[in-house]
Amino acid sequence: MNQNTSVGLQINLHGKTALVTGASGQLGRVMVRILAQAGADVAIHYHRNEAQALALCAEVREQGCAGAVFQADVTEEASVLRLRDEVREQLGDPHILVNNAVIQYPWAPVLEQSAEDFEGQFRSTVLHNVFMVKAFAPAMITRGSGRIIAINTESAMLCAPTSGAYVSGKRGLDGLVRVLARELGPHGVTVNQVAPGWTISDRNRADDTESQSNYEADIPLRRRGYDQEIANVVAFLASDLASYISGIYLPVCGGHVMPAI
């Protein structure tokens, strides 16, 4: 597959502003690049990696789009409200919200995992999305349109041993998104989930760990997905091409999991 294939020419996000949480991370930075290639101005959120966020912002501006960098702890409501005010002041109210940030706690059997890990996973997954929606959805409601995209995972369906804390947080997110889709739909706001599989990122390319034969053997397409393939789907759901799609859990994992009707 050509990893350099871009959806920027097919998907038009000119005149839109997107906010991506966890934008300095392995997947977040690719989402930012694809959204900017499609014409969106981008608010780049980071928690600790300011250097990566600033470098990413320079890339966005090289595309001819407006970009700005914002620090916040998305597990704390006061920090998210500060983020809202700063984004509004510099770029205006976002049309597109991509809730990508997550703290993934060590995997362990449920009988051995601490309650604090479960609570922390809940905060970084469910409350992160609650706080972001409370902060940014009112402006979308006033505008009469908006796109909210939450990043879930194929693990929410696989329910593998030792993934209890992670899966419980992501399953909680699934329920929240479905409720929000019903509550915000009458205001022209779509709410969807993208669920990546075990995705190839820059880190894998650097340490030559792209191929994982045991995992790939269970995937109908017989390969791991690329980070850009996830970002392409995010850009699609952010665009007018997806104007009548809301409430979905969309796996991007080569058929590894297949939601049933």
**pLDDT tens for the chain, residues 1 to 261:** 445 555 444 799 999 999 999 999 999 999 999 999 999 999 999 999 999 999 999 999 999 999 999 999 999 999 999 999 999 999 999 999 999 999 989 999 999 999 999 999 999 999 999 999 999 999 999 999 999 999 999 999 999 999 999 999 999 999 999 999 999 999 999 999 999 999 998 898 999 899 899 999 999 999 999 999 999 999 999 999 999 999 999 999 999 999 998
Question: Is position 244 annotated as part of the catalytic site?
Answer: no
Give me the pLDDT at residue 3, please: 52
pTM higher than the cut 0.75: yes
Length of the chain: 261
* Active-site residue, from 46, 166, 226, 249: 166
3-state helix, strand, coil in the chain (%, to 5): 45, 15, 40
The DSSP secondary structure of 17-33, one letter per residue, reads: EEEETTTTSTTHHHHHH
The domain made up of 17-252 is a member of CATH 3.30.565.10:
no
Q: Are 175 and 231 in contact (CB under 8 A)?
A: no
Give me the pLDDT at residue 10, please: 78
Q: Are 251 and 257 in contact (CB under 8 A)?
A: yes
How far is 72 from 162, CA to CA, in rounded Å? 30
Largest separation between any pair of C-alpha atoms in the chain: 52
**Residue 26 forms beta bridges with which residues?**
none
Q: Find the helix or strand (DSSP H, E) in which 103 lies.
A: none
Which three-class secondary structure state does DSSP give residue 198? Answer: coil
Chain mean position to CA 197: 13
How far is 183 from 187, CA to CA, in rounded Å? 8
Q: Are 27 and 201 in contact (CB under 8 A)?
A: yes
Residue whose C-alpha is closest to residue 140's, from 17, 12, 1:
17
How far is 231 from 243, CA to CA, in rounded Å? 18
Q: Are 168 and 112 in contact (CB under 8 A)?
A: no
Specify the amino acid at residue 78. Answer: A
Token couple for 216 = 């790939």
